[in-house]
Amino acid sequence: MGRDGSIELRSFQVVRPEKNGLMAEQVVIQVRAMIREGELRPGDRLPPERELSKRLGISRASLRHGLRFLAAMGVLTSRHGSGTYIADGPPALDSEPLRMLAELHRFTPNEMFEARKLLEVGLAGLAARNAGDEHLAVMSEEVAEMYATLDDPQEYLVHDIRFHRAIAAASGNQILAALMNMVSTAMYESRKATVERATDLKESAEFHRKIYRLIRAGKSEEARFAMNEHLELAQRAFETEELSITTVPKNGKPSPATRRKRRSRSARAT
């Protein structure tokens, strides 16, 4: 190794054949490794930044960049004055990225709805096959709450969402559940506005009850069908509402935002 020690300035680089750029990336890799090895588990607290930065041989600033990155992915949460913790609770994906993506690319609410529909229908089918008693109990509970809050749209929406979330949990597939929640959450703002003007929450509640019973009975295909019907109804309500809002102004050119034509775009594969 020729460690004569005259010039050691860059020795730290030599140790590292990779010479990977981006110190922050190193942090991600390290933490990820710790998770994979089982060294870090959900809910655990990480070592203090000052210590961790020393251990990894990088500045605290760089370490923090890496942690920020992980926090954005939903893997970590930092609590001021307390520490940095591995996310716990049910597995969940942050919906913020999806919301951003939607704004960047001007996704239509309809597209969002369609995505949700596909996921929810599939989940309903799975739930009919896999739901356990405790999930069924939650669903039943939420249906009851919906009936009880027919005159309070906002509250109704909360139980609506919880009901669908229970179905997702009952499906037995946490990934699909996480995806559905991501989409659902990204749509929350819109739904909050829509439900306020809803005319027939009772009908909606009936539908939920019907879906619940089909899932409980283990009737997969029928549960799928009912869920599909339910969401298409909701989607239609949503669409008409959208129109009634966007058509308000006296602008002669209604800006054909909904028009859809085939775009040719440079692919640039990576």
Partner DNA sequence: TCGTTCGAAGTGGTCAGACCACCTGTCAAC
Partner DNA sequence: GTTGACAGGTGGTCTGACCACTTCGAACGA
Tell me which residues touch DNA (CB under 7 A): 21-24, 46, 48-51, 58-62, 64-65, 67, 78-84
Nearest distance from C-beta of residue 2 to its own copies, angstroms:
27
- Which of its own copies, DNA, none binds 105 (CB below 5-8 Å, type-dependent)? its own copies
State which residue, 43 or 254, has the beta carbon closest to DNA.
Answer: 43
**Of 21, 81, 252, 256, which one interacts with its own copies (CB under 8 A)?**
21
> Phi/psi of residue 216, each to 5°?
-60, -35
Q: What is the secondary structure of 43-110 as a DSSP string?
A: TPBPPPHHHHHHHHTS-HHHHHHHHHHHHHTTSEEEETTTEEEE--SS----SHHHHHHHHHTT--HH
Nearest distance from C-beta of residue 42 to its own copies, angstroms:
6
Residue 18 found at the interface with its own copies (CB under 8 A): no
State which residue, 85 or 147, has the beta carbon closest to DNA.
Answer: 85
**Residue 153 and residue 195: Cα distance in Å, rounded?**
6
State which residue, 56 or 161, has the beta carbon closest to DNA.
Answer: 56
- Which of its own copies, DNA, none binds 132 (CB below 5-8 Å, type-dependent)? its own copies
Q: Which of these, 162, 155, 168, lies nearest to 126 by C-alpha position?
A: 168
User: Residues in contact with its own copies, total (CB under 8 A)?
Assistant: 74
- Which of DNA, its own copies, none binds 58 (CB below 5-8 Å, type-dependent)? DNA
Residue pair 35/86 in contact by the 8 Å Cβ criterion: yes
Nearest distance from C-beta of residue 191 to its own copies, angstroms:
16
Nearest distance from C-beta of residue 130 to its own copies, angstroms:
7
> In this structure, how many other beta carbons lie within 10 angstroms of the beta carbon of residue 241?
17
Nearest distance from C-beta of residue 49 to DNA, angstroms:
4
> Phi/psi of residue 77, each to 5°?
-140, 130
Residue 93 found at the interface with its own copies (CB under 8 A): yes
Give the residue carrying structure tokens 């041989």. Answer: 57
> Phi/psi of residue 79, each to 5°?
-115, 115
DSSP letter (8 states) at residue 258 = T
**Residue 175 and residue 126: Cα distance in Å, rounded?**
13
Residue 104 found at the interface with its own copies (CB under 8 A): yes
Residues 71-90 that bind its own copies (CB under 8 A): 71-75, 80, 86-87, 89-90
Residue 161 found at the interface with its own copies (CB under 8 A): no
